[in-house]
Amino acid sequence: MSATQTRYSEAVIEADAEVPIIRITRDFQGTPAQLMKAHTDPELFVRWVGPDAISSRVIHWDARDLGSWRYESTHDGAVYGFHGCFHTVSADRIVQTFTFDGMPDAVSLETLWFEDLGDGVTRLQAQSLCDSFAARDGWLASGMEVGVNEGYAKLDTLLGAGEL
């Protein structure tokens, strides 16, 4: 099996040594259109995003070129806000900014690609370009892999239940 055929049932999270980028790769049993919908439909997005221990709600969501978004996540009574702008939303790609309210100066530029691998499998590839190595390393040290993997497991469940 070649590198492009390898299946990723858990997210592979990698830090680039040369630039402050985090790359995430994960395969899903679903189509690119289903994954795009999961990332752009606010009612679906809040059902899978983040770790199991949080609940999220959308404050504002305009998933189109030049649109913007904001959601809040609650954990143990504490509320955490996130916001950004959609730069490009196309059939197989999203380009957006991402900001955590607790670190308002640490804005990242995120690109997500949805690649059809055939046999009903789609590979999600995401990269987040952070504004510094310190910000990137802070994200990596935050336990983000728990939220990524638990969130994607919830997305697997939605896909398997036919809710997308």
pLDDT in tens, 27-48: 999 999 999 999 999 999 999 9
Which DSSP string corresponds to 44-95? HHHHHSS-TT-EEEEEEE--STT-EEEEEEEETTEEEEEEEEEEEE-SSEEE
The domain total for the chain is 1
- Residue 52 falls inside a structural domain: yes
pLDDT in tens, 128-145: 999 999 999 998 998 899
- Residue 127 falls inside a structural domain: yes
Question: What are the structure tokens assigned to 52, written together?
Answer: 């199991």
- Residue 111 falls inside a structural domain: yes
Average pLDDT over all residues of the chain = 93
- What does the pLDDT read at residue 121? 96
- Does pTM top 0.85 for this prediction? yes
Give the Cα separation of 154 and 110 in Å (integer): 21
- Residue 137 falls inside a structural domain: yes
- What does the pLDDT read at residue 109? 98
Q: What is the CATH number of the domain that holds 18?
A: 3.30.530.20
pLDDT band at 1; cut points 50, 70, 90? very low
Q: Could you list the residue range(s) of the whole structural domain that residue 122 is in?
A: 12-155
- What does the pLDDT read at residue 20? 98
pLDDT in tens, 54-109: 999 999 999 999 999 999 999 999 999 999 999 999 999 999 999 999 989 889 99
